[in-house]
Each structure stands twice: as C-alpha cells, then as structure tokens.
Amino acid sequence: MAKFESSPAELALEPVALLHQLERERDRLRLLLDLNNNIVSNLDLRELLRAISTNVRRVMQCDYTSVTLREPGDERRLRVYARHFSQPDTSQDEEIVIPFEGTISGEVIETGKAVLLDSKELPRFAPVSNPLVAAGLKSACFLPLISHSRALGTLNVGKMQADAFSPEDLEFLRQVASQVAIGVENALNYRAVNEVKEKLAEERVYLNEEIRADQDFEDIIGQSPALKEVLGQIRIVAPTDSTVLTLGETGTGKELIARAIHSLSSRHDRTFVKVNCAAIPLGLLESELFGHEKGAFTGAIAQKMGRFELAHQGTLFLDEVGDIPLELQPKLLRVLQEQEFERLGSSRTLRVNVRLVAASSRNLLDMADRHEFRSDLYYRLNVFPITIPPLRQRREDIPLLARYFAEKYARRMDKRIETIPSDVMQALQHYQWPGNIRELQNFIERAVILSKTTTLQAPLGELERLADRGIAPRVRTLVVTDRDQIIEALTASKGVLGGPGGAAERLGLKRTTLLYRMRKLGIARPGIG
C-alpha cells in the first residue's frame, strides 16, 4: 500500500496559509470592533457612512463600496452615499440619487434578501449598475440594512475578479450589514431629532421677532363695497391649498390679506412665515428662502434652516415677489411645482408641504413681457389673484381707519383723542393717499403726537403741499385690471393716451400696454367708435 506524504514545499506553504487566514480573521474582527466604535461615537450620517465604506473596502479588499439609503419623504428614490471606486479615472461623485424601481438596491430593500451578482447579471439593472460595469467590476454583493424588520437601505461592495465572494465572505458581510443598520438607524434618528429641535428653535426665534415687530394693521377695517369684494374672495380661496397672488399698490395691506387667508385655512394652527424679498440683499435671498449648510459660503459658520422649511405644514408669504432675481426664480418654480429643494451647499433633497401667498406692487405681467420675470413662474403664482383696491377707491373707509389709528396711538402715548374735526375728516377723504393705508397710519400718528387736547390736531398743510405737487393722483406700480381706473385716467387726460400727463403715464404703463389692456377690457379708444 502506497504511502502519500506532503512534499517539503507543501509543508512550507501550510504555515503561510494559516498565517494569512489568521490575519484575515483578525482584520475582520477588528472591522466589527471599528464599526461598533463608530456606531457609538459617530452620529453624523455622512461621516459614519464614509468611515464604514473606508473600513469595509480595506478589510474586504474591494474595488467598489457604497451605502444606499431611502430618500427621506420620497419612497420612489434612493440616495447612494460614500461611493468609492479604486479606479482613479472613474467618477467619484460622493452622492447620487437613483430610482427605487429597476435598481439592485431597490430589489434588495423590497425583498430583504442579499443579492450576489456576476458580470453577466450586473447590466440588467439600470441606471446605477452601468458605472459599475464600466469600471470593470465582475462581482458585486448588495446586502440589506435591516433594523426592526424594516430595510433602511443596502451595503454595496464589488470586485474586479469574477466569483470573488465566497459563502464565508457573504456570511461575514451579513454581520457587517447588521452592525451598519444599527449605526444608520441611530444616525437617522439623531438627524430627525436635531431637525425637529432646529425647527422649533427657528420657530421660537421667528415668533419672538413677530411678537416684537410692530404690525402695520391689527384687523381689517372697512365696510366699503370694494373691501367686501376682497373679503369675499378670501373666504372662497382660504379653505383650499391653492397659491394666491395679492396685487396692489404699496401700503394697501397685502400682508394683512395673507394673514387672513392663513387664519381661515386648515393650516391656521401652523406657522405663518413672511419674507420681504425686496428687503433682503440679493446674495442672501437664496439662503434666506432655502437655507444653507455649514461652509456653503464665506460666513456660513453653521447650518441654517430656510423659510420654506420653517413654513412646513403652514403658510409662506412672499412679499414683493417681483424683486426675486431671475437666476433664483427656477428654484422657486421648482419648489412650487414639486415641493422639493436643496439647501445651499447640499445635494440632499428636502420635501416640504407649504401653502404660498405671494404679493407684488409691481406689474409682473409687464415684467414677464420684458423678460424681467419668468412667465412660467408668473402663471404658477397667478392661480388665484386678488387685487386689493387703493385707499382712494374706498374713501368711505377712511373715517373708520382714521378713528382706529387715532385710538391706537393715543393709547400708546397715554393720551385721549375723542374728536376728529369735520374739516380734518373731509381733508382726509379728499386726499388721494398715494401711500395708501400706511401713509394714512403714519399721518394719524403724527397728528396724535401734535395733539395737546382730546381733539385731533392734524397737520393738513402737509396734505395740501403734496396735492399741489401732483404726487397723489399718479399710480406707478399698480397692476391695472380695473376698467374704472383706465376710464378715470382717460377722463383726467381728456382722452390723451401717451406723452406727459397722458393716461399711460398716469397709470404707470407704456402706451402700447395701455392699448392692449383697453382692447382686453373692451374700452374704446377715444375718438374711435
């Protein structure tokens, strides 16, 4: 009977192989220990996933690693984090967004089972697998990250060699995926808690500012038919979630109308957030609306939540929306249509549920014709327009407003105003009030300051001087949709359309724009028909 013995060369190899096996087991145990340490010490999701990807790539000697997670608030999409290819000429984008359907990660999340693929199976998944195939991967393993019976995402590894993952490798990677799932859930929970805390802190700061701010009007004052028509429109649109565009001259109370819409809506117990687009420097407006990440630009020393996030589930009021720069308008259009955006300096898509009320004292349609405002954004904002009448078109409300403001400022100044003389009231009703209610409010405040008795002593000379200068009758920025305004301007100009003192100048329009509006409203051109 023949006796087989190992050759000296084979005997020499056995200790070397054993040593390699021991080193591999040591490295894998160290990986599990490192993962556990990262889970305990690192609650920042991106940093955690980068550390995981780096450690797995080193220990498993992989050519590709990444982690795929569900996109918050959007079950149709996934985000791929901490991507790394060993090939230096391969795209190194750290994060990409991919669809749930038709991708390997989507299938693994749906089934909850690991998938081991060779080079023939990889191409059938698109679009995420194409870069893997192009990079030369011949083996890939996708493992579900399961926590509390729910798949959060996948751990993805790949190699350039065919059949590179043994059953032992797969079993070890399952242990790794279990550890990773714990860390991911902890980081996601930490992020969610931080976002809630941040939102509450921002809301507290914002509401404190609102409380300290001196509101222009505390209530809607007036009984004129023009105002009642506006209030009727508010009652119609408030219960819906439709976008509202309030139009009117400066000082007519557009913010007050927006607050009334919010108060009568189903969102009344949520936050009402306002942004004056004309009062914020253009370079800071994007950050104010959409927020920014730490380090997004010089001076961004901390993460900032934008007004859209702050208004989630509530109402956002954009005052003077016509002052939003053209380059920022596509981002505003997107958030109106898709209810999603990214903070400055971030590729993470945020989803919000916001009801928008916009306001403008500028003619947005004319601006769109001059390519100063995007026409698609204008039509998206103009779902339900409400034109607020100027004070000169609701003169019967002036006595009510004058008494209201007189009482308001008298209380503040610890005075008593019991009487407004008839000549003062008559002058108030005859003045044109180009600054509208805000101008009336400021005038009454000055009058209260000057009053030494219980009778209001108004500086009527100011109104006479302004009227003599011809400032009052002119409307420079109102969006003219009322045929009565056009007819009034034509009458005042004796039928002259253009030139100094013509109807177009009185309305703040181009002559061609006035002619277009006249044709649209069926107003005959003077001397014709």
For residue range 482-511, what is the model confidence (pLDDT) as tens digits? 577 788 778 878 888 877 777 877 776 667
* Contact indicator for 138, 113 with CB cutoff of 8 Å: no
Residues 6+ apart with CB under 8 A from 152: 69, 70, 145, 146, 181, 184, 185, 188
Instruction: Give the C-alpha separation, 158 to 181, whole Å.
Output: 19
* Contact indicator for 230, 388 with CB cutoff of 8 Å: yes
Tokens (6 digits) for 91: 């795209």
- Give the CA distances from residue 465 to residues 177, 331, 360, 422, in Å, rounded to whole numbers and listed in that order: 80, 46, 29, 20
Instruction: With CA atoms as reference, report the closest residue to 436 among 250, 207, 265.
Output: 250
At 167-189, the pLDDT tens digits run 888 888 888 888 888 888 888 88
At 410-442, the pLDDT tens digits run 999 999 999 999 889 999 998 989 889 999 999
Q: Could you tell me how many helices (H) and strands (E) the chain has, helices first?
A: 19, 13
Q: Give residue for tokens 């222009």.
A: 216
Which residues does residue 159 pair with via DSSP β-bridges, in sequence order? Answer: 139
Average pLDDT over residues 78-95: 72
Q: How far is CA 7 from the centre of its chain?
A: 74
Instruction: Give the C-alpha separation, 144 to 106, whole Å.
Output: 10
* Contact indicator for 406, 442 with CB cutoff of 8 Å: no
Instruction: With CA atoms as reference, report the closest residue to 351 among 382, 309, 393, 297.
Output: 309
Rounded to the nearest 5°, which phi and psi values hold at 76?
Answer: -85, -10
Tokens (6 digits) for 137: 């991967």
Instruction: Give the C-alpha separation, 319 to 322, whole Å.
Output: 9
Instruction: Give the C-alpha separation, 320 to 329, whole Å.
Output: 13
pLDDT of residue 213: 42
CB count within 10 Å of CB 525 equals 13
* Contact indicator for 344, 293 with CB cutoff of 8 Å: yes
Which residues does residue 66 pair with via DSSP β-bridges, in sequence order? Answer: 156
> DSSP code of 323?
G
Q: Taking the alpha carbons of 275, 276, 278, 281 in that order, is the dihedral positive or negative?
A: negative
Alpha-helical (H) ranges within 135-217 are 167-212
Q: If you count them, how many residues does the chain have?
A: 529
Tokens (6 digits) for 187: 């980081």
CB count within 10 Å of CB 329 equals 16
* Contact indicator for 64, 137 with CB cutoff of 8 Å: yes
Proportion of the chain above pLDDT 90, given as a percent: 31
Q: Which of 35-39, 142-146, 163-167 has the highest mean pLDDT?
A: 142-146
pLDDT of residue 266: 93
Order of strands across the sheet that contains 272-276: 272-276, 315-319, 355-360, 244-247, 384-387
Average pLDDT over residues 146-158: 88
- Paired sense of beta strands 355-360 and 315-319, if any: parallel
Instruction: Report the chain's terminal Cα–Cα distance, integer Å.
Output: 128
Q: How far is CA 439 from the centre of its chain?
A: 33
Average pLDDT over residues 1-15: 50
Q: How far is CA 142 from the centre of its chain?
A: 35
Average pLDDT over residues 454-465: 86
At 346-391, the pLDDT tens digits run 888 889 999 999 999 989 998 998 888 999 999 999 999 999 999 9
Q: Confidence class of residue 71 from pLDDT cuts 50, 70 and 90?
A: confident
Residues 6+ apart with CB under 8 A from 508: 363, 474, 475, 476, 477, 478
Instruction: Give the C-alpha separation, 155 to 105, whole Å.
Output: 9
* Contact indicator for 386, 233 with CB cutoff of 8 Å: yes
This model's pTM is above 0.85: no
